[in-house]
A = this chain, B = another copy of it.
């Protein structure tokens, strides 16, 4: 077929049917083993989690680290911490507060170390507090500086009337306020062919879009693939489509003006995401002042075609 392309990186021969290769949210649905883990994976994790979890983990680390040092000071002997009061909370608790005052470099001085072992441990703890600070700052900035444009896609792929035939439609919008420029979309389709020996041969198609590049994305953008003679959907019926286990992959890239960064997003749709003979509702319109207004949550508004 005309639009068939080479393997875009996924593979072509499989011994049995595969689940979707790209999850709905664009991550890979693959179990990769043997990869090297490192400190940077922690970084990756720490910048991808939510702010709540991020602060929570930092706080847990802070308490945990202080507990470790408290135990060390306690084992050396609390008598080496000047200022622990017999009439105060238990010595372990007071030692914990001494540790906090050292780690954060508050150092009121009402609790202070004495003797070589305790002073040495305090020297190390202050250094670790110092380092933790640097690392937390690096993490905070790492979180801040990731591009924060967030493209949302319609939940469904529509099979819709278009001009004098049919089309495949997917809708998207930028959920955030930052400005995306020079946005380019690619729509790739995977279809399985079952070989006589039961193995699966994946075929890939680049589905041409009516518009595949826009300069600006202020509102929404509907990707439209017209089903013409070149299209893999030309002349096949619903049943044949389902049999081919199709997976649609949208690859989007643009330039985030706010952070001067190139951003890429991907999104995958499978058979159960297809809606037949539906159209997306138009969700943006000028209000009374002539200013265009819309609600990004309306991106999923669709209507049956006979309603038109």
Does A234 count as interface, using CB distance less than 8 angstroms? no
Which residues of chain A from 248 to 272 have a CB within 8 Å of any chain B CB?
249, 251, 255, 257-264, 266
On whether the beta carbons of A9 and B179 are closer than 8 Å, the reply is no
On whether the beta carbons of A62 and B127 are closer than 8 Å, the reply is yes
User: How often does this chain occur in the complex, in copies?
Assistant: 4
Q: How far is the CA of A112 from the CA of B107 in the complex (A)?
A: 10
Q: How far is the CA of A102 from the CA of B108 in the complex (A)?
A: 8
In the assembled complex, the CB of A192 is this many whole angstroms from the nearest CB of chain B, namely: 11
On whether the beta carbons of A88 and B107 are closer than 8 Å, the reply is no
In the assembled complex, the CB of A215 is this many whole angstroms from the nearest CB of chain B, namely: 4
Q: How far is the CA of A294 from the CA of B31 in the complex (A)?
A: 6
Q: How far is the CA of A179 from the CA of B150 in the complex (A)?
A: 17
Besides A15-B285, A21-B292, A36-B176, 5 other A-B contacts (C-beta < 8 A): A11-B219, A30-B219, A88-B115, A138-B141, A215-B249
Can you report 22 residue pairs joining A to B where beta carbons are below 8 Å apart?
Answer: A6-B211, A16-B286, A19-B286, A29-B291, A30-B284, A30-B294, A32-B294, A34-B296, A36-B150, A58-B131, A59-B127, A82-B110, A97-B119, A101-B107, A105-B107, A108-B108, A108-B112, A109-B109, A131-B140, A134-B137, A134-B140, A138-B140
On whether the beta carbons of A177 and B55 are closer than 8 Å, the reply is no
Q: How far is the CA of A143 from the CA of B44 in the complex (A)?
A: 12
Which residues of chain A from 126 to 153 have a CB within 8 Å of any chain B CB?
126-127, 129-131, 133-148, 150
Contacts of A19 in B (CB 8 A): 286, 289-291
On whether the beta carbons of B284 and A11 are closer than 8 Å, the reply is yes
Interface stretch (choices A157-165, A181-189, A225-233, A236-244): A181-189
Does A235 count as interface, using CB distance less than 8 angstroms? no
Q: How far is the CA of A19 from the CA of B113 in the complex (A)?
A: 59
Does A287 count as interface, using CB distance less than 8 angstroms? yes
Contacts of A110 in B (CB 8 A): 82, 109, 112, 114
Does A195 count as interface, using CB distance less than 8 angstroms? no
Contacts of A293 in B (CB 8 A): 30-33
Q: How far is the CA of A207 from the CA of B127 in the complex (A)?
A: 53
Contacts of A136 in B (CB 8 A): 130-131, 134
Q: How far is the CA of A86 from the CA of B281 in the complex (A)?
A: 71
Interface string of A110-127 (1 = CB under 8 A from B): 111111100100110011
In the assembled complex, the CB of A146 is this many whole angstroms from the nearest CB of chain B, namely: 7
In the assembled complex, the CB of A222 is this many whole angstroms from the nearest CB of chain B, namely: 10
On whether A14 and B106 interact (CB within 8 A), knowing A21-B292, A32-B177, the answer reads no
In the complex, which of the residues B32, B114, B179, B183 contacts A296, with contact meaning CB atoms closer than 8 Å?
B32
